[in-house]
Amino acid sequence: MPRSTALVVADLTPSPTLSPSTPSSEPSTPDLVASVRAGSEAPRPAVTEPSPNAAAFGARLAAAESDLRQALQLVYGSTCNVSALIDEVVAVAARHAAERKPALVALDAARELDEQWFQRPSMIGYVAYADRFAGDLRGVRDQLDYLSELGVTYLHLMPLLEPRPGENDGGYAVSDYRAVDPRLGSMADLSTLADALRERQMSLCIDLVVNHTAREHQWAQRALGGDEHYRRFYHAYPDRRQPDRYEQTLREVFPEWAPGNFTWVAEMNAWLWTTFQSFQWDLDYANPNVFVAIVDILLYLANQGVEVFRLDAVPFMWKRIGTSCENLPEVHQLLRALRAVARVAAPAIVFKAEAIVPPDDLVQYLGAGVPERRECDLAYNNQLMVMLWSSLATRDAVLMTNSLARMTPKPATTTWVTYVRCHDDIGWAVTDTDAASMGWSGAGHRRFLSDFYAGSFDGSFARGELFQVNPATNDSRISGTAASLAGIEDAVTTGDADRLAAAIDRVVLVYSIAFSFGGIPLVYMGDEIALLNDGDFAAEPGHENDNRWIHRPRMDWLAAARRTVSGTVESTMFARLAALARARASIDRLDGRAPTYLVDLDDPVLFCYRRGGDGFLAVCNFAETPRTVALGGVGNAANYRLPLNSGGAMLTAGSLRLPPLGFAWITE
C-alpha cells in the first residue's frame, strides 16, 4: 500500500483646476492624515444614490463592514480616526458602484451566487504582453479565436497601464493608473476588449502595481515639486540614519542594477525608498490617503471590466525597522480591507497575490488559518514551479514531493495559479531544510540549478542565462523560455530528433502537472508553440541590461500557423497542450477545491498525486527511461481509465507503463 502524505492541498490635493472628466486625472482626495490626526470628526461624505445597484450596495456593505473596520483598525487605529477613514472609503466605493455598468452589475449578481467560479476545471489561463502578442489591444481582440482553440478562459495581459517613458521595468513603473499605455490603445479599448472576453466567458486579468509608482506619476511629481501632502505618499528620509537601520535586515531584489533599497533624490533633499529600481518609488501605506487612492484606482479599473487583479509585489507594502519588511501583518490587513471594499463595490472581481516568498509566508496571502476567503483568492504557486525545473534537472521527484508535502494547506475557498514559466526569472527557492532531506546543501543545489539551466553544467540540455548574480550571497537566478530551458533549443540547433522528442516531452510533462495539480494553470505566451529564447532581446532600447527579455519574445505568427502542419514542433506542442486543456475541463475532480494528496510510489523518479481523495490520479515519470508501476494499492485499479492519450502511457490490469518523461492522468 503506497503511503500517502496529506498535502494539500492541498490624487491630487483638491484641485479645482483638474476636471474630473479628464480620463487620466486624479479625483481629489482630502488630506485624511491632516484632518483625522487632528482628531476632527470629518463630516460624513454623501453617498451617491440612488442607483439600480444601491440596494445591493447597502446589503454588501452591511456584510463586509466589520471586516473592513477590523482590518483598518489594526493598521490605522493608533494613528488616525478609523471611522472617518471608513466613511471616506465607503464614499469612494459608492461612487464606483453607482457608475458600474449593467453588464457588470449582472456579473456581480451572478458571482455572488457562484463565489467559487474561478475554481472550475474549465479555467485555463494564458499570459501575454498585448504588444508582443498582437500589436495592441485591438490586435488582441482579433486573436481571441486562437486563444479559444487552445482552451483559454482567463487572459492575463501583462502591465498595460501608462508607464514612465524610457526604462520602465516591463511596465511595472506606472505613471498613470487611469490611462492605458498609448502604444496599446485607450481605456475605451480596454473596456471593449473586456466586453469581448466576457461574451466568450473569458476573464480579463491585469496587473495592479500596488507597492510603488513610477517617479513620473503625478503623486511623485507633486512630491518632487515640494508638495508636502504628496511627499507623505512615499517614504522620504532626510538623511541616512533610518535607511541605514532598515538596510541591516533588507534583501536586494535587483542587486546588479539597484543595490540597496534607497535612492537619493536631490530635488526632495531626501532618500526615497526604492525596493526595486531607482525610478520605482515605494508607496507609504502608513498614510491612509495612499490606501484610499489605491481603492479608488482599483474600483475604477474594475469598472472597465477587469475581473482578476494581479496585485504586484504585495509583500513589500509595509515596513518596520528590524524586519525584512516583507509579509508583515499589516500587509495582510491592508489586503483584507481592500478585498472587503471590493466585495461591496464590485463583487465579481478576485485578487491574485504576486508574492514570491517562502511557502509558509505565501499561504498567508490566501488567508491560511481562517475558514473563509478574506484576502486574496489566488496566489502564484512558485514552489511548484521551481520544483518542476529542479526535478527535470535531477531526473528525480523526491525533493519535489518532500517540499510540497511540507506546504501549509490553503483554505479550500482559495486556489493557486500553477505555472511553468512567467515573464520573470526563476529564483531557486530551495530551502536548506528541503535540500537537507536529500542530503544536499541548499546553496549547493541552488548553484547546481543555476549552472544546469545556464547550460554550463556538463551534459545539460538547457540554454538559459544567469540573471542578477549576487557576489555577496553567491545567488543567481535564471532567464529563458520553457522551450529553451527544457532542451528544445539545444535539440533544434544540433538537429537531433531523439533529443527533440525528449525535450518536447519535458515541456508537456511539467505542463501536465500545472494543469492538474490544483489551481488555474497558466500558459505563458509562446510555450504552446515552443518559442525559443529571443537572442536579439538586447537590440531593443531599454532592454539591453535585462535578460528577462530573452523569455519575452514577440509572438511568431508564422510559427503559430504551423500548428496545423503535422510533424512540426508547433503542431505537436499546440496539440498536446490543447489536449491537456480539453481533458482538464472535462474532469470534475480537477476543481480547485478538490484537495491534492501526494502519493509515494516508492520510486524516486515518479511524482504522483491524487485529487479529491480518489477518482483522479496523476503519475509522472521524470526519468529518461520507461517505468512500470503496479497501481494495485492505489484506489480501485480495476476501474481506472486514461482520459487522455498522453504520449504513450499504457494501463493494463492495474499496471501502468510510462514512457520516458511520460505521464498519465487516471480517472476512476
Contacts with ligand OTU, residue ranges (CB under 6 A): 169-170, 172, 209, 253, 276, 312-313, 315, 354-357, 423-424
Report the residue number, 80 or 290, with the smaller CB distance to ligand OTU: 290
- Assess contact for 184 and 160: CB atoms under 8 A: yes
The nearest distance, CB 347 to ligand OTU, in angstroms, is 27
The nearest distance, CB 423 to ligand OTU, in angstroms, is 6
Compute the distance between CA of residue 516 and CA of residue 259 in angstroms, rounded to an integer. Answer: 39
Vertex 276, ends 272 and 277: CA angle to 5°?
75
Report the residue number, 253 or 560, with the smaller CB distance to ligand OTU: 253
Helices 382-394 and 497-514, packing angle to 10 deg:
150
Compute the distance between CA of residue 312 and CA of residue 330 in angstroms, rounded to an integer. Answer: 16
| SS3 (DSSP) at 89 | helix
- Assess contact for 263 and 278: CB atoms under 8 A: yes
Report the residue number, 123 or 355, with the smaller CB distance to ligand OTU: 355
- Count the neighbouring beta carbons within 10 Å of the beta carbon of residue 53: 23
The nearest distance, CB 172 to ligand OTU, in angstroms, is 3
Report the residue number, 218 or 275, with the smaller CB distance to ligand OTU: 275
| Cα 550 to chain centroid, rounded | 20
Report the residue number, 174 or 530, with the smaller CB distance to ligand OTU: 174
Distances in whole angstroms, Cα of residue 495 to Cα of each of 458, 463, 490: 19, 15, 8
Burial class (CB in 10 A: 0-12, 13-18, 19+), 583: buried
- Assess contact for 577 and 124: CB atoms under 8 A: no
The nearest distance, CB 171 to ligand OTU, in angstroms, is 8
The nearest distance, CB 148 to ligand OTU, in angstroms, is 27
Question: Active-site positions?
Answer: 312, 354
DSSP 209-227: E-SEEETTSHHHHHHHTT-
Pairing of strands 154-157, 203-209: parallel
Backbone torsion region of residue 459, taken as left when φ is above 0, otherwise alpha when ψ lies between -120 and 50, otherwise beta: left
Report the residue number, 331 or 569, with the smaller CB distance to ligand OTU: 331
Q: Which residues pair with 213 in a beta bridge?
A: 281
- Assess contact for 420 and 524: CB atoms under 8 A: yes
| SS3 (DSSP) at 606 | strand
The nearest distance, CB 409 to ligand OTU, in angstroms, is 21
Phi/psi of residue 88, nearest 5 degrees: -60, -45
Compute the distance between CA of residue 65 and CA of residue 664 in angstroms, rounded to an integer. Answer: 47
The nearest distance, CB 305 to ligand OTU, in angstroms, is 23
| Cα 478 to chain centroid, rounded | 18
Q: How many helices (H) and strands (E) does the chain have?
A: 23, 25
Report the residue number, 96 or 421, with the smaller CB distance to ligand OTU: 421
Distances in whole angstroms, Cα of residue 303 to Cα of each of 101, 192, 345: 7, 12, 9
- Assess contact for 59 and 43: CB atoms under 8 A: no
| SS3 (DSSP) at 433 | helix
Report the residue number, 355 or 509, with the smaller CB distance to ligand OTU: 355
- Assess contact for 629 and 658: CB atoms under 8 A: yes
- Count the neighbouring beta carbons within 10 Å of the beta carbon of residue 441: 14
Vertex 74, ends 71 and 79: CA angle to 5°?
125
Phi/psi of residue 13, nearest 5 degrees: -50, 140
Compute the distance between CA of residue 47 and CA of residue 355 in angstroms, rounded to an integer. Answer: 35
The nearest distance, CB 328 to ligand OTU, in angstroms, is 13
The nearest distance, CB 224 to ligand OTU, in angstroms, is 21
Report the residue number, 355 or 398, with the smaller CB distance to ligand OTU: 355
The nearest distance, CB 385 to ligand OTU, in angstroms, is 13
- Assess contact for 240 and 190: CB atoms under 8 A: no
Residue type present at position 273:
W
Compute the distance between CA of residue 284 and CA of residue 286 in angstroms, rounded to an integer. Answer: 5
Report the residue number, 169 or 489, with the smaller CB distance to ligand OTU: 169
Report the residue number, 467 or 515, with the smaller CB distance to ligand OTU: 467
Using only C-alpha atoms, the chain has a radius of gyration, in whole angstroms, of 25
Residue corresponding to grid cell 485578487: 351
Report the residue number, 222 or 352, with the smaller CB distance to ligand OTU: 352
Vertex 113, ends 108 and 116: CA angle to 5°?
90
Which residues, in sequence order, are CB contacts of 456 under 8 Å at separation 6+? none
